Amino acid sequence: MPTIDLFSPTPEHALLRQTVRDFAREQVEPQALAYDREERFNLPLFRQLGELGLLGITVPSEYGGAGMDAVAAVIVHEELSAVDPGFCLAYLAHTMLFVNNFCRNANEDQRRRYLDKVMSGAWVGGMCMTEPAAGTDVLGMKSQAVRRGDSYFLNGRKMFITNGALDDKTLGDIFLVYARTDKGISSFVVEKGFPGFSLGQRLHGKAGMRASMTAELVFEDCAVPVVNRLGEEGESTIHMMRNLEIERVTIGAMSTGIAARCVEVMTRYASERTAYGQPIHNFGQIQRYIGDSYAQYMAARTYLYHTAGRMSLDKPGQRVDSDGVKLVATTMAKQVADNAMQVLGGYGYFSEYVVERLWRDAKLLEIGGGTIEAHQKNITKDLTRRMDLIR
């Protein structure tokens, strides 16, 4: 019986991995440190992802996308994050939070109007859910959309929006915005240039993920055509929860990408660095850091691909494991990055070695896309309701 590679289960997955790995090494790696230091988004490089067909990785082929699955999305995020998690975060916000979410909930007219623009990278997109006083408690959002005639008038503020700005003064191009309506939470496609839509502030000074732009977005009687509402009024809570599953799995993939690179760096360094006349990998404490890091990384990675392989992009049903993957993988990545910095000692604390940047980037993954506390709550709730999920 042939053996199936869990991490690249088909020839198409294997080719995708090699393509993205080569692109990451040749194009993304050389620019990563400079864009991190300068807190800038590399828009030309991002558009190259469109040329490779990666911005529509999960969009069905009949709409011009790659038509691939959750495993493919995981592969791309893993490979990009091994060299530049900040750039990958911009990719996730565009491709998973906007493109995938939009495609699965839009009607034919909406797909026709927008998909080509976002899959090519001509337009950079994002998703607006978090507010100044509503993060994990998404149902506590205050933004409202009131219908008057053929338009909704949207009021509110959205905070910490990835791709919210392309630089200090320029809004991102297109957003999927969640807001309260008469019948509950609804979602709307909002373009840059709609009256009443503005950039509140580009947020500087992040600890990590500096190559992706984060902003506050402001809606003041922003006029949104009714034809830009996704689905029926009030049904977007379902859209939101369904897309959170693939978001959390791809954040898990970012975590395993970070961890893989950290294991590589610390293993190579421990073989080259000597102390007391021998390579430091001969010392038990260094062996513990490397051995534990590799085992924890592989355990999280196996859980990640097991979950992605069973995931349907068209309907929810993997919440307990998408939460579980993100809970395990993000905490693992932070610990492995810390271990790598410890193995490298003083050198690890400087940007010459990539672990300093990965260490800073890793922390956000415990916060964005749902905090680790939210995952613990969700898992407990799901298991209490369905004990059969345990075994």
Q: Which residues are identified as catalytic?
A: 247
Helices and strands of the chain, counted as H and E runs: 12, 10
Closest listed residue to residue 70, CA positions, set 249, 242, 240, 238: 249
**Rg of the chain in Å (alpha carbons):** 21
Q: At what angle do helices 70-81 and 236-272 cross, to 10 degrees?
A: 40
Closest listed residue to residue 252, CA positions, set 304, 217, 288: 304
Backbone dihedral angles phi then psi of residue 342, each to the nearest 5 degrees: -65, -40
CA 33 to mean position of chain CA atoms: 20
- Residue type present at position 63: Y
Cβ neighbourhood burial of 275 (10 Å; 0-12, 13-18, 19+): exposed
d(CA 12, CA 19): 10
Tokens of 357: 């940047």
Q: At what angle do helices 43-51 and 85-92 cross, to 10 degrees?
A: 60
d(CA 24, CA 369): 24
Closest listed residue to residue 310, CA positions, set 64, 71, 18: 71
| Residues 198 and 73: beta-carbon distance below 8 Å | no
DSSP assignment, residue 107? -
